[in-house]
Structure 1
Amino acid sequence: MSTDSQQNAHRSPVLEFKSSTFSVPVLVLASNDVATIEQQLQEKIHLAPEFFKNSPLVFDLLDLNKQELDVDVTELTRITRKLGLLPIGIRGGTAQQNQQALEIGIPIHSGHNVAAASEPQQRQTPEPEPQAVATTTLITQPVRSGQRIYAEGDLVILAQVSAGAEILAEGNIHVYGSLRGRALAGVQGDTEARIFCSDLQAELISIAGNYKISEDLNSAVLNQPVQIYLQNHTLVIKDI
């Protein structure tokens, strides 16, 4: 290769940064008792081991710190990693907790922090927020095992979702075929979101963080066309 060719190769971009949206479980703590935290995490993971296996995790310590209940971030990280979870961020931490997190390689989420929450806010007349236009993502091909699809609005799939696949939507999910994988609707906290499918065989269904795994599903609704929604923080599954 000539010198000019080598220089051109070095100048060619080999990477780029892109903004994207991911659904990551957030661990909100109401107690700083690490033994109890570990025990209850084990119980949660036991209910859905495949869902939590190697799952990323964000620590939310804002409510805990508002109650002036300190927690050791290093110990919290040790516990969650031991249980197979992968902490990737912290929010709502104190200066000391944030420093602990940085020392063990966990980044700080800039959206929430105790110092900002404690500062008095000036009264301002809120400006009207622009209304977001809901979008719908349409998938016409089968979603195969190992695939992961995320929709910022509603998600409509005109084919089957295979076991081992994962579909997520900030709005509703419609599957006009067999749903055998994992379906998570309202992933940004929309409790009005619903899941509709023509044939329920799911490994896991979830709306706004409230979930059921296949073992929890009543046999009467399996292999049936159903709709799934939240009622009093409980998932309801009804025939269509």
Structure 2
Amino acid sequence: MEERITLKGSRDGLRLILHPTAAWEEVLEALRKQLAQGSSFYHGAKLLIDVGERSITDVELQAILAIMAEHDIEPAALITIAPTNRTTGRQAGVETRHPDSLRSTPPPVVQGEGLFLWRTVRSGQAIKHQGHVVVVGDVNAGAEISAHGSIIIWGRLRGSVHAGVGGNQQAIVCALELSPTLLRIADNLARTPDNHRPTGPEQASLDGDNIVVVPWDAPRR
């Protein structure tokens, strides 16, 4: 079954993408569950609400805004192609934007010790960096990232990652959906169990010689 909603990072901020044809109640329920699972993580954020070609009514938009308000989340803009949604957004006091207005993906930028990538890392690609790596996008299966520091994925992690190259045991790996093929921190290696089902944003770190996975907003040891 296709996902009713998708939450992913973009250069313009966190983006909520709605399924174009799913039943509205299913969309709302998926949004409730997603925000509840990462309540502290999303708290205070601003969301781009991307409805694409889907036409939504004032009542439907208000339902989304009400769920967001429960987690202190503000709408950044309503991203839409449908002309009728401009009126809906204006009546709700939400800026409307066309998808073409979103900023294009820039090339990788190294800032200090961090490498920032505003794109999806695809199968067959390998990223290596001596500092921290932040990816605003997904890391697909078959992709590899290695970093001497921590690895932060503002999206789905399904490829292989190695944080703490060289023995840095303080390094961590975080992702909105943590389902790596292989995960290594310093000299410790772990695989994602076949029955693993991500429940929200998660972080992996070392506890002694073991890699432990906890919610992203859990206190660090």
TM-score normalised per structure 1? 0.44
Higher Cα Rg, which structure: 1
Greater helix proportion: 1
- Normalised to the residue count of structure 2, the TM-score between the two structures is 0.47
Name the structure where strand makes up a greater proportion of residues: 2
Higher relative contact order (CA 8 A, sep 6+): 2
